[in-house]
Chain A
Amino acid sequence: MNADVLVIGGGLHGLSAALQSARRGASVTLVERHFLGRHASGATAAGVRALGRHPAELPLSLEAAGDWHRMSELVGDDCGFVACGQLQVAEDEAAFSAVKARVERLQAKGFTHERIVGPDELRTLVPDLSAHCLGGAWAIADGSADPHRTIRAFRDAALAAGVRVTEECKVIALTRRSDFWRAETSQGSIEAKVVVNAGGAWAADVAALAGDPLHHAIRTSMMVVTERTVARIGPVVSSLGRKLSFKQTAQGTLLIGGGSQGRLAADRQSATVDVVALASSVKAAVRLFPTVGGLRIVRTWAGMEAMTEDHLPVIGFSRRVEGLVHAFGFSGHGFQLVPSVGRVLADLICEGRTKHDLTAFDTNRVAAERAAA
């Protein structure tokens, strides 16, 4: 089987890159070791957030924000996106000063997506919020989406654009020939001019196969979902300095996450929930919303994703191997960036360059020494 592009990894970033490349006329094959969205993309809280972004990510994030508001145009479905806004609350004076300082810096640079709210407006936005919260930063255009619906919408759009998707297909070897790649997989071999490494928590394994050794940590962020309850919380709420994000889904369940880490298995192939660590996130949630304590937890889980030291993703061409593009290491906040990063990757794949400045996402940051031959 031959293709212009072989995307390795059937998470949202792989699907988005495949979709955008196929729309520009490339023939694209995507392979996924398990099933689409098996790991981070299916385990995410699906926050659509420009709030609190690292400045280097802001251009991609703000472009993506526009995409989310017109998601039907991109993939034929709104992906369950609701522009409910995101609110970062400050629970004490120090936190409130830090939030204010950040928003002032943003506004000085001309960014308007965040603004400061005081205690009264806080109560109007989220009446159930505990009285001790002093204020916060409010991003009205932010929101959240349905991760599984997003995966299906991106898959269906990719298939309609001509992408060949193969699940339960593991890449075993990658060999660079004169000007193309030959991939041996559990379902036969594939030849392609460009390989996209969207391997998520296993991105380093893919890179190693391609002869571009690099290293990253693995995040195992935990989530909690409760039984359904009456509609009570509109925006997605986080708290500065705490590992907490809190939202009510369209189904009426409460979803609590925010970065508490589970336990990574020694072989780095799976992660399990650490309930003691989780209890501290839940305690922070109940502190913010005292009225929800009686709700039953239905399920918890730990998702797996690549994490870099500076928590910024790796996006761009390999510095060592020709025809290899990396897109991984989103470090727990890649969901919102899916539409814009897919477009950047298609730029690189189809045109060899992009108008976005990718300096902060350079592969050199994560390069490992090549093992002696």
Chain B
Amino acid sequence: MTYDVLIVGAGPAGMSAAVQLSRDGLAVAVVDEQPAPGGQIWRGVERNMSGPVSRALGADYRKGLALVEAFRASKAEYMPETQVWQIEEGWSVFLTSGGRARRVSARIVLLATGAQERPVPFPGWTLPGVMTVGAAQILLKSGGMLPEGRVWIAGAGPLPLLYATQALDLGGRLAGYLDTAGRPGLAVLQKLPGAWRDLAGLAKGAGWLRALRRKVDIVRDVKDLRAEGEGRLEHIEWSRHGKRQRVEADVLLVHEGVVPRIHETLALGCAHDWRAGQGYFAPRLGRWGEASRSGLFVAGDAGGIGGWSAAMVSGEIAALGIAARLGKGGDVEERRRQARLDDRRARALALRPLLDALYPPLRERLPDETIVCRCEEVTAGTIRAVTRTSVPDPNAVKAATRCGMGPCQGRQCGYTVQALLAEVHGVPVGSVAFFNIRPPLKPITLAEIASLEDMETAG
């Protein structure tokens, strides 16, 4: 079957686009890995609409229900628990679900694949007991689960603050909160005027911080974090103003911001730009969200981190652009103005410059013994040694060390390798490329891909 539009991801951007494209009379399919719509931000929202978990997750979380309901009511065909493992121009999208592979065709593909947490390597980060704040929040949204024992949070950005607030509201306990962001500099003040456009957002963040301070010891200016233990986390250690501190810990939750999911656009050879302020690559998009490959659109955090409200707007903008491309949607310029999409997007993004200035990507020198590639256990020292005798190309490092060859396809080590190469060769980080990305985008089994051949023969 050929769809007009295949949307990958049922989060704020994907659902918004699906609702609008269906209304415009287009045949839409939405593929998503999760069992229910909502994306990461609204994971489990249909199930969590009452009770203490719902209250703790807050009003922004509950706002997701309206969009989920509109999406459920739309004519878009929804394929949950389905993975996209290959996209070919033209467009063929290869899927697996329930142990079978299949191919669907679409005239346009919209990637609304969202963000992933920026991996934060430090000595001991691979020990059991160390996990990301994002993973902890998934457990919270999936079943109200909270970590137990001496729980520490270390990181920067809004998500750890939000998670800490939510966990405490649910009766969880935190042993301490290590703030790894440096002291705010002048740059932050310059961003304040713009940020006032989102006064509610500012107030929300400040509120989290106040509430947290009353209940938890917040340690600022934390540097050189380490996790230690025999077989699992037992201690954490850090430096503050030149002094080492060491505490016992059972769980350490870490977070240093989120980055767009770019494996899909990288695999398709789309042009990407390095965003130095945010420390990530983002696909280069036109004003309707179209990537450098004709017929491929990107909306939401996958095109650059903006959060859920900006993602919804960019989903609507992409939907208009796609409708126009397919000869539907009427005067889309006029619709864009009528719906004040650009103004809504500017408002949704108002806090971003301030957040970027408050929480710049970490630039600490990684100790040589730090594992960079979790899949193949390659250390920073090995990567530095290998690249000294070659060119600053991550693919050369991959060939020489197996770094990035594991099942995660460099999702965990890509940016770290890039930073190490820039450091050794003395070149700007953004001048170093990312790994070449090869299919499959998600691991599939030999039997699953073999089943694809059966299907092709039968067809």
Chain A positions within 8 Å of B, measured between CB atoms, are 34-38, 42, 148, 151-152, 167-168, 224-227, 251, 256, 270, 272-273, 275-276, 278-280, 282-283, 285-286, 292-301
Contact = CB atoms under 8 A, between A and B. Distances in A.
A292 B444 CA distance: 13
Contact of A282 (B94, B393, B443, B450): B450
B391 interface: yes
A270 B399 CA distance: 18
Given A276-B452, A298-B406, A299-B405, A38 B395 contact: yes
A151 B94 CA distance: 34
Interface of B: 86, 88, 94, 101, 103, 269, 390-391, 393, 395-396, 399-400, 402, 405-407, 409, 438-440, 443-447, 449-450, 452-454, 456
A296 B269 CA distance: 24
Contacts of B409: 298-299
Contacts of A152: 400
A75 to B, nearest CB: 16
Contacts of B454: 283
Nearest to A32: B391
29 contacts: A34-B391, A35-B390, A37-B399, A38-B395, A38-B396, A42-B399, A148-B400, A148-B402, A167-B391, A273-B86, A275-B88, A275-B94, A275-B439, A279-B453, A285-B446, A292-B446, A293-B445, A293-B447, A294-B445, A294-B447, A296-B407, A296-B444, A296-B445, A297-B445, A298-B405, A298-B406, A298-B409, A299-B438, A301-B438
A36 B390 contact: yes
A79 to B, nearest CB: 14
B391 A168 contact: yes
Contacts of A283: 450, 453-454
Contacts of A279: 101, 449-450, 452-453, 456
A186 B84 CA distance: 40
Given A168-B391, A280-B453, A301-B438, A295 B399 contact: no
Contacts of A34: 391, 393
A256 to B, nearest CB: 8
Contacts, number: 98
A298 B402 CA distance: 13
Q: Name the 6 nearest CB pairs between A and B, nearest first.
A: A293-B447, A279-B453, A296-B443, A283-B450, A35-B396, A279-B452
Nearest to A35: B396
B449 A298 contact: no
Contacts of A300: 438-440
Contact of B445 (A251, A256, A276, A295): A295
Contact of B449 (A42, A227, A275): A275
A227 B391 contact: no
A148 B398 CA distance: 10
Nearest to A159: B389
A37 B386 CA distance: 14
Given A36-B390, A299-B438, A286 B456 contact: no
A296 B82 CA distance: 16
Contacts of B450: 279, 282-283, 285-286, 293
Contacts of B391: 34-35, 167-168
A299 B446 CA distance: 11
A312 B312 CA distance: 58
Contact of A298 (B396, B400, B407): B407
A280 B450 CA distance: 7
A38 B445 CA distance: 27
A151 B407 CA distance: 24
Contacts of B269: 270
A286 B391 CA distance: 39
A297 B94 contact: no
Contacts of B395: 35, 38
B453 A282 contact: yes
Contacts of A296: 407, 443-445
Contacts of B440: 275, 297, 299-300
A321 to B, nearest CB: 30
A224 B348 CA distance: 43
Nearest to B405: A299
B392 to A, nearest CB: 9
B40 to A, nearest CB: 23
Contacts of A276: 103, 452-453, 456
Nearest to A151: B399
A51 to B, nearest CB: 24
A295 B399 CA distance: 23
Contact of B447 (A36, A148, A275, A286): A286
Given A35-B396, A152-B400, A273-B439, A297 B405 contact: no
A36 B390 CA distance: 9
Given A298-B407, A300-B438, A275 B452 contact: yes
Contacts of A282: 446, 449-450, 453
Contacts of B452: 275-276, 279
A300 B88 CA distance: 14
A230 to B, nearest CB: 16
Contacts of A167: 390-391
B393 A35 contact: yes
Given A35-B391, A295-B446, A297-B449, A273 B399 contact: no
Nearest to A279: B453
Contacts of B390: 35-36, 167
A40 B439 CA distance: 18
A293 B395 CA distance: 29
A167 B450 CA distance: 39
B436 to A, nearest CB: 8
A272 B439 CA distance: 9
Given A35-B396, A275-B452, A227 B446 contact: no
Nearest to A287: B450
Contacts of B88: 272, 275
Contacts of A225: 405
B445 A148 contact: no
A56 to B, nearest CB: 32
